[in-house]
Chain A
């Protein structure tokens, strides 16, 4: 059955975010291109792009169950990678030519072993070791890991990835980051032409489309937004989101259905990927990317020594975007975010910001409960 062409960039982004494979990926493959999936934003897309490979961020979209994955994992493992793995076991990631798993958190890292030892026939699978401390020695270690990663790609796909191609990819991805930052600017105003839920779709789609195409669509969207009529009603409350996951808009949907507004976020699929730029200098591009991930953008709570930076970034974002409060979400059995949100809650309180910490499963057990808690929070904080 022919798929209806989206009539606007936003409609396209929503369609892409709601599914896994999409027409652009299919087109890339039919042109002889390779697609490599990856877990975690710490994996540098730039190296893949420089090798002519389409990076595809692994998500759990469309997943309804973990029946097959639960043969490998138990319910004491985080539900997000379980859902992603279940999709892979049921063939939904059959379009991948490769997979890169960042050794970020435990369960993501264990997914690497389960994936490679499962019947899933992904030709190239690579574990990218990631430092868990923000520091100069760790930057050197990660730079060496990126070198190993580049060599592995070159061998697996019979390609050569030159430094200049990586610099080109860095410039391309930096353009994406700039566009993302411009997009989020619209959320500073009370009457924004784009909702937090819609922004979530735009950000999720970033990991599922070829960058040049994505950038062109996002530029078109940014040009359209100022002309979109907006509601004159002030939101009930302005909310910032942080936490694990973020490849869905469940929390944003609830917040905005209740009349509040998600003004900014620092989630894994959202605000984290737009923060700062990789410096466009000359010299070693792998060094530049290693520094960016380890020192400039250490937003995963698994990166030790960087909590003060994360906290200050969040507080600055809340002030800049006039947030009234913060919602922190984490998936059950996520130990890193458990500790992070536990401490952040106190620091936010000391800074005068109320917060709500939500634990949920990737597919929430009860949307009603989430709705009730968020509603109570909004009523508490609204001016």
Chain B
């Protein structure tokens, strides 16, 4: 098997597909001829894929923009507009896109309070945006609880949302098609779980960040372009095949002498390409997991319409990165640290404590305590995962290197 060539091709394909998530991609999506919906937060691909409409996510476009040209200037423009300066930069960027009028007018807007106040605020700005006053809006209330009644509550809202989408876009909600898509979604989840299991091997067979890419293709890109949905399955199948091959032959990441495995307990930064490859090459330090490469999905229960909606709700509330970490109790947050560190043999935990994440800023002591109790070396950074001006990748590298040296990993 020409495994590295396959990985290179998967990476290239991911790079191409991610263009759909940028502000340019959002504008292109509006011109594709499908009904065009904008959501404030991460949205379930099952609904747009089954109903065949395009759904773009504002905060994702904002996040993608923070790694793009003129990022700093655009982030600063949001602050100049009067938006809270200490807001997450991805939301600032999204707010700038909205208020600067460079987004296409959607057919419908879907907002929610998850995963955090900042995205909630973004959604409310979209609700109130005057040029979109005539655009129908639907607002989902994501509960903070984790009981079956909470999943049922959210599931009922999702069903109501599909009725509204039908009414506004003319797209029918057909249960047979929806079950078919959910089946495919379960298959994708299973593949990502398989890859996650294969990552446990020492050395790690493939850059673990590939899980994040697969996840983003299956969820975000597929939501913008339903035709990508089956392509995401094939992408994941190939990724798992390569990982299986490498585990069988005890092959690690190409060119990397794995010495350290660590958990990056936040989203992967937009400037990550300036950090993680260097950590791997110079220190043999492999980032085993971040929020987006952590697969924690329950299967969609296809027994009935009610169970489908409840289990999709559960998948959204408990499996969507950032929603899982920020919407529920600190117990969920801390238990994941221990589980990931143990299951993936992490030597250390790095907490970026992104300045826009109120949750990590509020939970850093609890995280430190749980690491101490479990013998996991812990580093607190306090960086900005979107705006590298706050703490440059070089400074972050130096801090991580010093930390590894201090705890005897280097």
Give the interface of A toward B (CB within 8 A): 71-74, 76-78, 103, 105-107, 109-114, 117, 127, 129, 131-133, 135, 137-138, 141, 144, 301-302, 304-305, 307, 330, 332-336, 338-340, 342-343, 345-346, 357, 359
Contact B326 A103 (CB under 8 A): no
Contact B83 A336 (CB under 8 A): no
Stretch at the interface among B137-145, B168-176, B250-258, B279-287: B137-145
Contact B127 A305 (CB under 8 A): yes
Contact A343 B326 (CB under 8 A): no
Residues of A within 8 A of B365 (CB): 71-72, 114
Bound Cα distance from A127 to B130, whole angstroms: 36
Contact A301 B124 (CB under 8 A): yes
* Neighbour of B361 across the interface among A76, A129, A340, CB < 8 A: A76
Assuming the contacts A77-B362, A332-B86, asked whether A302 and B117 have C-beta atoms less than 8 A apart, the reply is: yes
Residues of B within 8 A of A343 (CB): 124-125, 128
Assuming the contacts A109-B144, A110-B359, asked whether A336 and B120 have C-beta atoms less than 8 A apart, the reply is: yes
Contact B366 A338 (CB under 8 A): no
* Neighbour of A302 across the interface among B120, B329, B361, B366, CB < 8 A: B120
**What's the minimum C-beta distance from A335 to chain B, rounded to whole angstroms?**
4
Can you report 17 A-B residue pairs in the complex whose CB atoms are below 8 A from each other?
A: A74-B361, A106-B362, A110-B330, A110-B358, A110-B363, A112-B329, A113-B362, A113-B363, A113-B366, A114-B366, A117-B366, A127-B329, A129-B145, A133-B113, A304-B113, A335-B116, A335-B120
In residues 361-376 of chain B, which contact A (Cβ within 8 Å)?
361-366, 369
Bound Cα distance from A73 to B364, whole angstroms: 7
Contact B143 A129 (CB under 8 A): yes
Residues of A within 8 A of B156 (CB): 137
**What's the minimum C-beta distance from B164 to chain A, rounded to whole angstroms?**
13
Residues of A within 8 A of B29 (CB): none
Bound Cα distance from A334 to B117, whole angstroms: 8
Bound Cα distance from A137 to B120, whole angstroms: 19
**What's the minimum C-beta distance from A109 to chain B, rounded to whole angstroms?**
7
Shortest beta-carbon contacts, A-B, top 9:
A338-B84, A110-B362, A339-B121, A113-B330, A132-B113, A335-B117, A133-B141, A74-B361, A76-B361
**What's the minimum C-beta distance from B323 to chain A, rounded to whole angstroms?**
13
**What's the minimum C-beta distance from A290 to chain B, rounded to whole angstroms?**
13
Contact A113 B329 (CB under 8 A): yes
**What's the minimum C-beta distance from A318 to chain B, rounded to whole angstroms?**
19
**What's the minimum C-beta distance from A291 to chain B, rounded to whole angstroms?**
16
Contact A73 B329 (CB under 8 A): no
**What's the minimum C-beta distance from A128 to chain B, rounded to whole angstroms?**
10
Bound Cα distance from A343 to B362, whole angstroms: 28
Contact A307 B123 (CB under 8 A): no
Contact B86 A114 (CB under 8 A): no
Bound Cα distance from A203 to B69, whole angstroms: 51
Q: Is B247 an interface residue (CB 8 A)?
A: no
In residues 134-179 of chain B, which contact A (Cβ within 8 Å)?
139-145, 149-150, 153, 156-157, 160
* Neighbour of B84 across the interface among A74, A77, A334, CB < 8 A: A334
* Neighbour of B139 across the interface among A301, A305, A359, CB < 8 A: A305
Bound Cα distance from A301 to B144, whole angstroms: 17
Give the interface of B toward A (CB within 8 A): 81-84, 86-87, 111, 113, 116-118, 120-125, 127-128, 130, 139-145, 149-150, 153, 156-157, 160, 326, 329-331, 353, 355-356, 358-359, 361-366, 369, 382
Contact B157 A107 (CB under 8 A): no
Most chain A beta-carbon neighbours within 10 Å: one of B141, B160, B331: B141
Across the interface, name the chain A residue whose C-beta is closest to B331.
A113
Contact B153 A141 (CB under 8 A): yes
Contact A340 B124 (CB under 8 A): yes
Across the interface, name the chain B residue whose C-beta is closest to A71.
B365
Contact B83 A76 (CB under 8 A): no
Bound Cα distance from A96 to B331, whole angstroms: 24
Contact B139 A133 (CB under 8 A): yes
Residues of A within 8 A of B330 (CB): 110, 113-114, 117
Contact A307 B358 (CB under 8 A): no
Contact A336 B121 (CB under 8 A): yes
**What's the minimum C-beta distance from B333 to chain A, rounded to whole angstroms?**
8
Bound Cα distance from A107 to B83, whole angstroms: 19
* Neighbour of B121 across the interface among A73, A138, A305, A338, CB < 8 A: A338
Across the interface, name the chain A residue whose C-beta is closest to B119.
A335
Across the interface, name the chain B residue whose C-beta is closest to A350.
B130
Most chain B beta-carbon neighbours within 10 Å: one of A301, A333, A339: A339
* Neighbour of A342 across the interface among B82, B120, B353, CB < 8 A: B82
**What's the minimum C-beta distance from B369 to chain A, rounded to whole angstroms?**
8
**What's the minimum C-beta distance from B288 to chain A, rounded to whole angstroms?**
25
Across the interface, name the chain B residue whose C-beta is closest to A133.
B141
Residues of B within 8 A of A302 (CB): 113, 117, 120
Contact A137 B82 (CB under 8 A): no
Residues of B within 8 A of A74 (CB): 353, 361-362, 364, 382
Residues of B within 8 A of A340 (CB): 124
Residues of B within 8 A of A114 (CB): 330, 362-363, 365-366
Residues of B within 8 A of A359 (CB): 84
Residues of A within 8 A of B113 (CB): 132-133, 302, 304
**What's the minimum C-beta distance from A137 to chain B, rounded to whole angstroms?**
7
Residues of A within 8 A of B140 (CB): 133
Bound Cα distance from A110 to B128, whole angstroms: 28
Contact B149 A357 (CB under 8 A): no
Contact B124 A72 (CB under 8 A): no
Q: Besides the contacts A114-B366, A305-B139, what 15 more A-B pairs have beta carbons closer than 8 Å?
A: A77-B358, A105-B117, A110-B330, A117-B366, A132-B141, A137-B157, A141-B143, A302-B117, A335-B117, A335-B358, A338-B121, A342-B83, A342-B125, A343-B125, A345-B82
Bound Cα distance from A339 to B16, whole angstroms: 34
Across the interface, name the chain B residue whose C-beta is closest to A345.
B82
Residues of B within 8 A of A109 (CB): 144
Bound Cα distance from A235 to B274, whole angstroms: 59
Residues of B within 8 A of A335 (CB): 84, 87, 116-118, 120-121, 358
